[in-house]
Amino acid sequence: METLTQEIAAAAARLVVEEGLEYGPAKRRAQKILGASARTALPDNEMLESEVRAYLALFCGDTQPAELAALRQLALLWMERLAEFRPHLTGAVWNGTATRLSDIHLQLFCDDSKSTEIALIDHRIAYEARTVRGFRGEAVEALSFSSNCPELGEMIGIHLMIHDHNDLRGALLPRGADARAPRGDIKAVRKLLEASNA
């Protein structure tokens, strides 16, 4: 019998895929939709990712692979443009669960966060700056903008999280039961695209 936490994970997975919600908001909304108490244990991200993969396989198998490839291609384009800042792709576009509703999340590792803003200005990109929580829980600057994805025929949100150059060493350690890298550099993203085209 399914536990309430598993039901929340399944409902949240539908919200992630169909509405493009991030994991945190999707879990909380699923909890409300199911009428679960605020004390009900929410699924962890691994459980939710597993449900997202199952949902994609069941309902989006004919469209999602091409959408994912288009998003990875756009991510690679921006990673190449921002190569001097050691960009790493993370999130759904990296782990393979992205759809056309997903945003692209890039983590940059540089000595001077202002140099990233100057690079965007040089590319004539209007961006919004804000502070978000980094992968270690610390506050980091994030620069967000939209970029056209020709293959999908729409604008895609791109978020650059600016980390200190020294954070890169610990950032590449594998995580989770399957020991996957939580992010990948330009070379790794190229490999993913080559594999999907093979």
CATH class (in words) of the domain with range 64-197: alpha beta
Domain ranges of the chain: 4-59, 64-197
In order along its 198 residues, the chain shows pLDDT tens digits of 368 999 999 999 999 999 999 999 999 999 999 999 988 999 999 999 999 999 999 999 999 999 999 999 999 999 999 999 999 999 999 999 999 999 999 999 987 778 999 999 998 999 999 998 887 778 889 999 999 999 999 999 999 999 887 777 665 555 555 557 889 999 999 999 998 876
Q: Tell me, what's the pLDDT at 152?
A: 96
Neighbouring residues of 89: CB distance < 8 A, sequence distance ≥ 6: 72, 75, 79, 104, 105, 106, 183, 184, 185, 188, 189
Report the alpha-carbon distance of residue 57 to residue 55 in Å, rounded: 5
Q: Tell me, what's the pLDDT at 86?
A: 94
Q: Give the amino acid at 192.
A: L
The alpha-carbon radius of gyration of the chain (Å, integer) is: 17
In 82-154, alpha helices (H): 91-95, 113-122
